[in-house]
Amino acid sequence: MLLDLRKINQLIDLWLDEDVNYYDLTAKIMVDDDAVAKFGMNAREPITLSGIKIAEMIFRKMDPECTFESKRRDGDKIDTGETFAVITGNAQALLTAERVALNLVQRMCGIAGLTAQYVQEIEGTKAILLDSRKTTPGLRMLEKYAVTCGGGRSHRLGLDNGIMLKDNHIAVAGGIRAAVERAKAYAPMLTKIEVECDRLDQVDEALAAGVDVIMLDNMSNDDMREAVKIVGGRIPLECSGGVRLDTIRGKAETGVDYVSVGRITQSATCVDIGLDDV
């Protein structure tokens, strides 16, 4: 997944404004204006790296002349104690940027690491792991990017990326066929239409309506296997609902094409990363 650096720069301004306000009082008092420092970003536990470019942008926002040496790339597995980036520059500026940079990288690495665990669980099946829109407001692009660093893929960035007909949309429209017909009448030509189904008879109806993708929502594994037979490979099938590390393998083995998991962004825990003098 590509990052929009223009939008990230706008976000960085907001993050720094929130954290710094007028100035870093401690750094201003304790550190000479012309002092130079050299710090290393260190993994204090095993991590899957994500957000290294974001960290560089944050430090450069405070000190455009600083040097940022990245020793590893996003997606790399980092061992405990490894220094994966070294930053040299104005000490005041680097110390002021420290917390914002660490917060973002710790969050993104947590998501990437959890995603990697889910990907490993379905290794050997045809299923591809997808994320969802269950992201932190304001951080969606970065959290979805972190998913890709862990080996997953993005379902859709926002509501304008595709048509997802869920139960309430279908109820308002008067049924699956009516909902799909309305969607096809107004959707841009390249836009896919996905329908959420929680019963097998809805799978038949969605297939007959000519949808592009069917989401099997909270179905049992037996029903999903039956849905796979009904569809017969004509369109992709996505599994969603109740997916955890201990259940994803069984769901993937039903033969679905995609498994979407909200937990990889919603429930990921930040990892422990430090900025230490070197």
Question: Which one of the listed residues 7, 166, 229, 244 is annotated catalytic?
Answer: 166
> What does each C-alpha distance from 174 to 179, 180, 181, 261 come to in angstroms?
7, 10, 11, 29
Q: Does 166 participate in catalysis according to the annotation? A: yes
How deeply is 246 buried, as exposed, middle or buried, from its count of CB atoms within 10 A (0-12, 13-18, 19+)?
A: exposed
176 close to 205: Cβ distance less than 8 angstroms: yes
What are the mean pLDDT values of the chain's consecutive 10-residue runs (278 residues total)?
90 97 95 97 98 98 98 98 98 98 98 98 98 96 97 94 95 95 95 97 96 97 98 97 96 98 96 96
276 close to 39: Cβ distance less than 8 angstroms: yes
Question: Which one of the listed residues 217, 238, 251, 257 is annotated catalytic?
Answer: 217
pLDDT at 2: 81
Q: Where are the domains of the chain?
A: 5-118+269-277, 120-266
Query: Radius of gyration over alpha carbons of the chain, in Å?
Result: 23
- What gap in Å lies between CA 4 and CA 73, rounded to an integer? 18
Question: Which one of the listed residues 82, 196, 205, 257 is annotated catalytic?
Answer: 196
Question: Which one of the listed residues 99, 153, 177, 184 is annotated catalytic?
Answer: 99
pLDDT at 110: 98
Query: Which residue in 110, 149, 117 sits closest to 249, CA to CA?
Result: 117
pLDDT at 230: 97
Q: Does 196 participate in catalysis according to the annotation? A: yes
Q: Does 99 participate in catalysis according to the annotation? A: yes
According to CATH, what is the number of the domain 120-266? 3.20.20.70
Question: Which one of the listed residues 38, 72, 134, 177 is annotated catalytic?
Answer: 134
Q: Does 126 participate in catalysis according to the annotation? A: no
CATH class name, domain 5-118+269-277: alpha beta
